[in-house]
Structure 1
Amino acid sequence: MDQLLGLAPILLMFVAMWFILIRPAKKRQQETQNMQGSLQRGDKVITIGGMHGIIDAIEDTAVTLKIADNVRVKFDRQAIGRIEKDNSI
């Protein structure tokens, strides 16, 4: 019985670490996957590298961004960091 009580603080630390570190990371990952899955042509986005552009074409695993007149660049969907909220690029 004393051995079980000795393990209780260690188990409590693992549970606390799960709630503090792992659970929020999984939630952020799920939100990112949902955002990347809901991309549409015409969305203004920012890549994880900081490139701003408008989605011109969408494939299964890639998107083509228009970053300037007559300039289009192809990125993996996973490279899209976020959808831009305002209308200025």
Structure 2
Amino acid sequence: MPMILMLVVMVGMIFFMQRQQKKQAESRQNQLNAIQKGDEVITIGGMYALVDEVDTDAKKIVLDVDGVYLTFELSAIKTVVNKAAQAVPAPTEEADTEAAVEADEAGDTAIEED
């Protein structure tokens, strides 16, 4: 009886360890797939660099290290330190016109004198 109990406990431990490893591998793969130009990364060798190019089909990445461009396998990335800032869309004419109308209604416009 004690032998069966030990066997069940061992099988349970192995199951939970495999499940945890699978989640970690999936998380790492998602992180690698989300890398974009401008992200700051650390390689497995400990080098900090900015991502210049990502080719997910060929599983290659080009890193900018103080003006030196180096090509690595995508799997050489250990972690992503900082994600690149998302581009903010430029204001449109409509937005500028609305802001001018709101400022005019609030009496914030300055009167130009010659």
Q: Shorter-chain TM-score: what band?
A: 0.7 to 0.9
Superposition deviation, residue 6 in structure 1: 4.5
Structure number with higher strand proportion: 1
Measure, in 1, the Cα distance between the counterparts of 2:9 and 2:43. Answer: 39
Measure, in 1, the Cα distance between the counterparts of 2:15 and 2:82. Answer: 32
Point out the structure with max Rg over C-alpha.
Answer: 2
Measure, in 1, the Cα distance between the counterparts of 2:39 and 2:82. Answer: 10
Please report the TM-score for the alignment, with normalisation by the length of structure 2: 0.63
- List aligned pairs for 1:1-89, cutoff 5 A: 6-19=3-16, 21-59=17-55, 60=57, 61-69=59-67, 71-85=68-82
1:72 partner SS: strand
Superposition deviation, residue 38 in structure 1: 0.7
Is the Cα–Cα contact under 8 Å of residues 37 and 51 in structure 2 kept in the other structure? Answer: yes
| % identity of equivalent residues | 30
Answer 1 or 2: higher relative contact order, Cα 8 Å, separation at least 6.
1
Structure 1 stretches of 5 or more lacking a match?
none
Structure 2 stretches of 5 or more lacking a match?
84-114
2:35 partner SS: coil
Please report the TM-score for the alignment, with normalisation by the length of structure 1: 0.79
Superposition deviation, residue 11 in structure 1: 2.3
Is the Cα–Cα contact under 8 Å of residues 52 and 63 in structure 2 kept in the other structure? Answer: yes
Superposition deviation, residue 8 in structure 1: 3.9
